[in-house]
Amino acid sequence: MNVKSILSVIVVSISVTTVAASDVLGCYAVVVGKGASEDGSVIFGHNEQNGGNRIINLRVIPRIRHKPQDVVKLLRGGALPEVEETYSFIWSENPGLEFSDTYINEWGVAVASNSCPTREDSYSELQARGEIVDGGIGYMLRRLIVQRAKTAREGVQIAGELLNRFGYAASGRTLTIADANEAWLLSIVRGKHWVAQRVPDDEVALLPNVHIISSIDLNDSDNFMGAPDIVDYAIKRGWFNPESGKPFSFRAAYNLWDGWDIRQRQGQSLVTGKNIKLLPEEQLPFSVKPDHKLSVKDVVNILRYHGPRGTICGPQTQEAAVFQLRNWLPPEIGCIYWRTSAEPCSGVLIPWYVGITETPEIYYKPVDLAEHLTLSFHFNPPAGTFDYEIPPTPLFQRGDKGGFAWWAFKTLQDLVNKDYQISMNRVRAVFDNFEASVFANQSAVEGEALRLFSKDKVLAKLFLTDYSKNLALQAVDMANKMVYELRTGTPAGIDDSEPQKEQGQKRSLEKPRDFCLSQNYPNPFNSQTTITYQVAQTCLVRLSIYALTGQFIRTLVDGNRPAGTHSVVWDGTDDAGQNVASGVYFCQMFAGSFSATRRLLLIR
């Protein structure tokens, strides 16, 4: 059976299995070299999984200029000089946890990690031996990489320098550091011992919660980096015997146990299309050649896998991320952080382009940026941070902006797991069609972004920001509607054949308190889109469409309107009834002294 068939079985198994998601062992990564992917991109998928009551904040952190005297403070007391300017990044924050944040920076350098315990001595013992200095480094390692590295290779080098200086505070961990040209697995041992291996361009690495690097060659600097005494130290500790006749294996020497995690075998079976069998004394290869070139959809299907052995997706998942990193496009457009909030089997992929300037405010807890970046705020989040916020009345009926987006997806996940078979069928019918439309529009969206980028980079970034934000808000709306359906058994008006579709014109009799022009829906759109606006009192309303150049296109509303909520459909034509070209348009509203503008994206 080839991998396409196996991955199709994954999707089917999500919808027909009769039990809720079982527990999984921990984080999981799928790392695809650019020669093993369908489009020539490096693809890096990762499930972030932790126990307990958790949330995720998703926020864009801009470039920050620092003063010469500024320092970076580490969690356990260490410090190092700050650089003149740190790069911008998209930050997926898991508040309160030290090793669970995920990042991608403006250059397309992505970082996430898997816990990989080692047999090294305790923290206090390594402190006494000088292997951990000034408290060591832990939480800040990933952030420093994305703040300072333009490439994955440079990220490994920066991490290596920090590990050599401070030593690592935790038992062990593997960081995946990827960019649009290559991906590295950086395996770290408590203290100052580490090794990094480049994923071969034509292969795929499947990383569970054990170190998977085996043989190493530090003389091959194209493919390996590491502490120079990594082998000698293992000999000194009695973890490797050179007289045994066996070659040195990092995983065999340093893993806490024998390096076995059923999910590595399961992932390699999915990727190769073979049922890989493994004897206890054998070790799986670092990476494998896939039986066909993989796409973003293939990778997320692996992250959504539920099977009889080696389940990869589970209710402890706070996020599934798939980084699509392409070197033939500007990083602002070519590097995408596809992600689902909560468990990916019941979640929906949203593309967040590296070029975006912000995420919707409902995707992170509101706090001043400088305070948010402090260690004290991350490790001591305010009271109520982890409290459920989903109201009993669905947001789409209340007509407000709603609460924290995370709880929409987490509540949906919890409801699905109560009646997995029936609920999952409904959820996947809606989200699969939504994802299919996003993938279908990807080429057109990026074509328009490139056209804008060649003329005005700022405008292109605003365009991508609007695009990602609108999809993200649509996803929250769909999740809330499905929560309502599953709670009440009452249909919420989602068409699972065309989940973004709205038709006709309508007016609510409920009198609004303010004037408002809402974002059109759907956006982007192909044939038609609905524009909703509120009028606080009877007045003359004019609503018109303009091209990006300022050219007038069409007037949709021009007359007195009573107080209330109104909507009008634009079918993508001008005043002469002719279809307009794909691109960015503006909807401008005037009502008395009120005025507002929204950007619309038409994709033919």
* Domain spans of the chain, in order of start: 3-395, 507-602
Dihedral sign, CA of 344, 345, 348, 354? Answer: positive
Low-confidence ranges of the chain (pLDDT < 70): 1-25, 259, 279-281, 308-310, 390-402, 493, 495-513
What is the architecture, at CATH level 2, of domain 507-602? Sandwich (2.60)
pLDDT of residue 397: 42
pLDDT of residue 4: 41
pLDDT of residue 327: 98
Place of tokens 């896998």: 305
Query: How far is 199 from 533, CA to CA, in rounded Å?
Result: 52
pLDDT of residue 109: 98
pLDDT of residue 502: 33
pLDDT of residue 209: 93
Helix (H, G, I), strand (E, B) or coil at 195: strand
Q: Which two tokens stand for residue 332?
A: 């602002």
Q: What predicted TM-score, i.e. pTM, was given to this entire model?
A: 0.86
Helices (H), 209-330: 230-236, 250-254, 262-272, 296-303
Cβ 394 vs Cβ 481: under 8 Å = yes
pLDDT of residue 470: 87
Residue 119 burial (C-beta neighbours within 10 Å; 0-12, 13-18, 19+): middle
Closest alpha carbon to 477 in 513, 530, 516, 440? 530
Assign a CATH topology to domain 3-395.
Answer: Penicillin V Acylase; Chain A (3.60.60)
Cβ 467 vs Cβ 601: under 8 Å = yes
